[in-house]
Amino acid sequence: MNMQVLRVVTKSIKVILCLFLLDTVFGKLQRHVFFQQKSGKFYRINYTMDKSTEDVLIFGSSHAAAHYVPDVFEQELGLSCYNAGVAGQQILFNSALQGIALERTTPKIMILDIDTYGFFLDRYQYDRLSDLHPFYYKHSDIIGRVLDLKSRLTKYALESKLYQYNSTIVHVLRYWLSPQEDRKGYRATFVQLPRPVRTMKDGGEAQPPPVQRTRPFDKNLIAALEQFILNAKTRNIRLIFAISPNLEDTNVPVDDALERIRSIADRNGIKLISFINDPDFIRRYELFSDAGHLNDAGARMFSKMVADIIKEEFPDFRRQ
Amino acid sequence: MRFNSLYYMAFLSTVVLLYYLVGSRYRWAVLLLASYYFYASWKPEYLLLIAATTVINYFVAVLMASQGEKRKRRKFLKISLASGLGFLFFFKYFNFFAVSIQELLHGTGLLVTSPLLNLVMPIGLSFYTLQTIGYILDVYHGKIEPERHLGTFAVYVSFFPIVMSGPIERSKHLLPQLQREKKIAFSYENVSRGVKLIILGLFYKLVVADRAAIYVNAVFANADKHFGLTFIAAAIFFSFQIYCDFAGYSSVAIGSAKMLGIDILPNFNRPYFAGSIKDFWRRWHISLSTWLRDYVFLPLAYSFSRMWKKEKYFSIRTDRIIYFCAIFITFFLCGLWHGANWTFIAWGCLHGFYLAVENILRVRTRRNLLKIGITYILVLLTWIFFRAASIADAFAIVGKIFTKPGSLFIPQGPDIVAPIYAGGAILLVLVMEFKQEFFPSRFSFFNNERELVRVLSYAAVIAMILSLGVFDGGQFIYSQF
């Protein structure tokens, strides 16, 4: 028995040593290649974390990335601007991203584009935190705290360098071969959504039936929003919450989430700009690239409207 | 607790340690505690169900064995079947049959609304029900003696490596390995082989299956937006997703049991290298196909042969009619067992139909590349029914494949990486399995004569899992169409 145990222990040590060697060599190689990126999602995340010095930073999901044109804000406000929106990411990720950026820079204004559905219990919001893994070794404090919300074991798995860069190699190669275009983080789309053929006699103007969302809120997500606010407040950064426009009428106003966000914003003296069911955008197919996202023309129009509200709200930033 | 989690690895290590530390008399207790803990980690309430199944079948088997007359034994058999199939029907099929009957009556003009149950199906219920039925039938037919130790029998029903998704074990094979008299010593070979199977299983599951699922889900979730070529690609990806998912899971299960010195029946044997549908079912979900053969197909065929005495009916040989009827019923039940949806039944019936046609055509078992290709395409077609949300969707997809090829859906932007990873992983699996199928003794890495190659092989596969595996829902195709 003892000999058998000894054999298992010896073999295990040999495998672990080999694994450590492979992990160190290939992990470091991957890390080196990863941080050589000049475009793409991970490059933009890295820029926001470690390089951004702009006066205006915009956070949010794909809505943020596709709806806020930094050039428009720069022109209207006379301040430099970077769009840090990341597709598929909500408040947990954005709270970590903001926290890391603020360790190094203090912008004058921050805009958080909010998806109202982003505060309900949702496993995917936690799963998608894996976008933070490659940056763990540099910002382990903040990222570790957020990852703990997902699982306390994740930090141990991140001891492996290969795991830190899990699934990134093809992404890196893809944008090395064909760089992804962005304009200060803004991802423009120039497609126009075709107007659907409507068969209803009234032209399809009917309001959809009210939808009451019943999913419970996730207290971690609400806490992340509060942390986002606190981070800005303690550094005297002006914070704006914005909700992007939608193509079709929705009954989001009856949604609990909007009221919850509004009450948090009111309590903290934060301006909440809601473009839900805004008549300037509703069924304006020429302004959308798909059912949920504005195209470049729509984004420019929307950015101008947000910039105008900021000028009203904070007259000291009005361009002279 | 999922097999592909760090929690499971910690759990398994603890169980292995405790198992070998205690004497063989008490190992059943370690396994029972571990199995119940593992099962409770999903939904503790359902432990009651597995415990009830255990107690009912334990006493039924013991009482049945004490009866000399077959008539009396049959009474106990009925109790066991009624309880096992009753639980299965209640949790898995009640809503399906209620809705199907409702729709049927609706079609005849009768508007009937039946109540639906809001229940989550207990995990593994389909598997441990079949395993228990197999045991009871074996006792009924006198093939085995009933297990007299309740604890050992409880482990047989709930053994943690196989309770969730099989392989479906046979009483004659597993029970003797769990008995207290069986002395299993710690051995390097068992642990080494077990670890190897677990690593390979995780590779299949995390690097291939879960990666392919990303593309498959994006396509099937928007079936109305895609066309023929995309569905062919998605069906190919799905064929590997489901294979690698299930074979990977089985491999981890078999490996976990092997570390405890317990042999579990094999479940897959490179099914996509089958030369006929019959051959496919010798290689696919072997524990289920042999279970169905022994407890459904053969008894049915035997019973039909006693009913139909003539040499021919409607100018067709009776043995052929018996085969068609028995195979069709068996595969209808096989489909229904896979899920409470007409899509699964259609999948099963298609396989039954293929086997009937092969029987008529007298397809020989000798393989060639053409036969392997045709078998794969036939199986691919059935996977569309298996994966589609409804029968209507499945027919629409098959229709599009033949009439509207359209263009291939290639995700844009960063999402392109999903099919690239999946395609690469599938290619790797094909190469590995081709080598194992046709050159089993050549280019061996895990069993290489040189220790360095063996050790490096283990480490390299773990490194690939860490680097390329899908560990959660963080990988996804953002633009679904």
Mutation target for A interface from B427, B461, B467: give the one with most A CBs within 10 A: B467
Contacts of A23 in chain B (CB under 8 A): 463, 466
The active-site residue, picked from B141, B173, B226, B338, is: B338
Mean pLDDT computed over every residue of chain B: 89
pLDDT of A236 over the 70 cut: yes
The residue type found at B224 is: D
Mean pLDDT computed over every residue of chain A: 88
Contacts of A40 in chain B (CB under 8 A): 414
pLDDT at residue B23 in the model: 82
Q: How far apart are CA A136 and CA A159, in angstroms?
A: 10
Average pLDDT score over residue span B221-236:
90
Digit-coded pLDDT (tens) for A113-147: 998 888 888 788 898 899 999 999 999 999 999 99
pLDDT at residue B345 in the model: 95
pLDDT at residue A201 in the model: 43
Any domain includes A20: no
Q: Who wins on pLDDT, B131 or A124?
A: B131
- The pLDDT-based confidence of B480 (bands split at 50, 70, 90) is very low
Digit-coded pLDDT (tens) for B296-330: 999 999 999 888 887 777 888 888 899 999 999 99
Contacts of B265 (CB under 8 A, 6+ apart): B167, B168, B169, B170, B173, B286, B287, B290
- The pLDDT-based confidence of B166 (bands split at 50, 70, 90) is confident
- Is B173 among the residues known to form the active site? no
Size of interface A-B (CB pairs under 8 A): 94
**In chain B, what percentage of residues exceed pLDDT 90?**
62
Any domain includes A58: yes
Tokens 């359902």 belong to residue: B46
pLDDT at residue B192 in the model: 92
Question: Strand, helix or coil at B398?
Answer: helix
- The pLDDT-based confidence of B379 (bands split at 50, 70, 90) is very high
Say what the ipTM of the complex is: 0.82
Any domain includes A172: yes
| Total number of domains in chain A | 1
pLDDT of B407 over the 80 cut: yes
Digit-coded pLDDT (tens) for B393-406: 999 999 999 998 88
Domain spans of chain B, in order of start: 6-186, 190-468
- The pLDDT-based confidence of B413 (bands split at 50, 70, 90) is low
The residue type found at A33 is: V
The residue type found at A76 is: E
The answer to whether A228 and A84 have CB atoms below 8 angstroms apart is: no
Average pLDDT score over residue span B235-259:
95
- The pLDDT-based confidence of A258 (bands split at 50, 70, 90) is confident
Any domain includes A211: no
Please judge whether A156 and B6 are an interchain contact, meaning their C-beta atoms are less than 8 angstroms apart: yes
pLDDT at residue B105 in the model: 79
Nearest CA distance, A127 vs chain B (angstrom): 4
Any domain includes A142: yes
pLDDT at residue A174 in the model: 82
Q: How far apart are CA B227 and CA B185, in angstroms?
A: 57
A295: domain CATH number is 3.40.50.1110
- The pLDDT-based confidence of A253 (bands split at 50, 70, 90) is very low
**In chain B, what percentage of residues exceed pLDDT 70?**
96
Digit-coded pLDDT (tens) for B32-81: 999 999 999 988 888 999 999 999 999 999 999 888 788 888 999 999 99
The C-alpha torsion from B360 through B362 and B363 to B366, rounded to 10°, is 170
pTM of the predicted structure, to 2 decimals: 0.87
Digit-coded pLDDT (tens) for A63-121: 999 999 999 999 999 999 999 999 889 999 999 999 999 999 999 999 999 988 888 88
Contacts of A128 in chain B (CB under 8 A): 473-474, 476
Q: Which domain holds residue A92?
A: 33-195+218-315
pLDDT of B292 over the 90 cut: yes
DSSP B440-475: TTSS-STT-SSHHHHHHHHHHHHHHHHHH---STT-
CA nearest to B192 within chain A: A8
Digit-coded pLDDT (tens) for A192-232: 888 776 544 444 444 555 555 557 888 899 999 999 999 99
Any domain includes A202: no
